[in-house]
Structure 1
Amino acid sequence: MKFRPLHDRVVVRRVEEDTKTAGGIIIPDTAKEKPQQGEVVAVGPGSRDETGKVNALDVKPGDRVLFGKWSGTEVKIDGEDLLIMKESDIFGVIDGKASVKAAA
């Protein structure tokens, strides 16, 4: 990728969720919500404090994160749909292969 985010910005690729519920019902594309999970693709160097010192970000490329439903700005880079958001828009990092289901 030829894009480098600045300051405390993070580039995230949405991770598609299952198209089937736990009960086996298939969810059509028109009823799907946008996933709130993603994989961090790139991170900026960090924000500066009052003294000019750069504070590094807590996330790194490859982390699987959970973010708000309306977080970030959708962009298309190299033909791929990505989100650019501030690190503060990320709720947390998901450890392991666990998947978080949104409440209905």
Structure 2
Amino acid sequence: MAAQATFKSIKSLVPLLDRVLVQRFKPETKTATGIFLPSSVTNSPLNEGTVIATGPGAPTKEGKVVPCNVKAGDRVLLPSWGGNAIKVGEEEYYLFKDNEILAKIQE
């Protein structure tokens, strides 16, 4: 896993090019009926998250900028590997390249 960077505010972080800042959903620590789940179940990150911010897009060889496929607020399916972890206070975020995001989840 990549080294973690730490920032004071998520607003101070602006993704560049085709990078996407995502906050993964946290696994539930207890069931709806109040049963606490063991840490072996809750320590694995979920493969879903919310897009917090995106870069403007990556330029093609001709210089035309291709925008990211997702936008802030989108719910996305993430790979179980990759991404650069970023810590803001107690919250953890990840930077992915736009083409690493597997799907947009529509509700």
Q: Distance in 1 between matches of 2:99 and 2:35?
A: 35
Equivalent residue number for residue 6 of structure 2: none
Q: What is the match of residue 28 of structure 1?
A: 38
The secondary structure found in structure 1 opposite 2:76 is: strand
Matched, 1:91 2:98: no
Write out the 4+ residue segments of structure 1 that deviate beyond 3 Å after TM superposition.
17-21
CA–CA separation in structure 2 for the residues paired with 1:41 and 1:13: 7
Specify the alignment match of 2:59 in structure 1: 48
- The letter for the 1-side match of 2:66 is N
Gaps of 5+ in 2: 1-10
TM superposition score normalised by structure 1: 0.80
TM-score by length of structure 2 reads 0.77
Query: How far off its partner does 1:17 sit?
Result: 3.2
Residue 68 of structure 1: which of 58, 73, 79 is its match?
A: 79
- Runs of 5+ in structure 1 lacking a partner? 97-104
Structure 2 residue matching 1:30: 3-state secondary structure:
helix
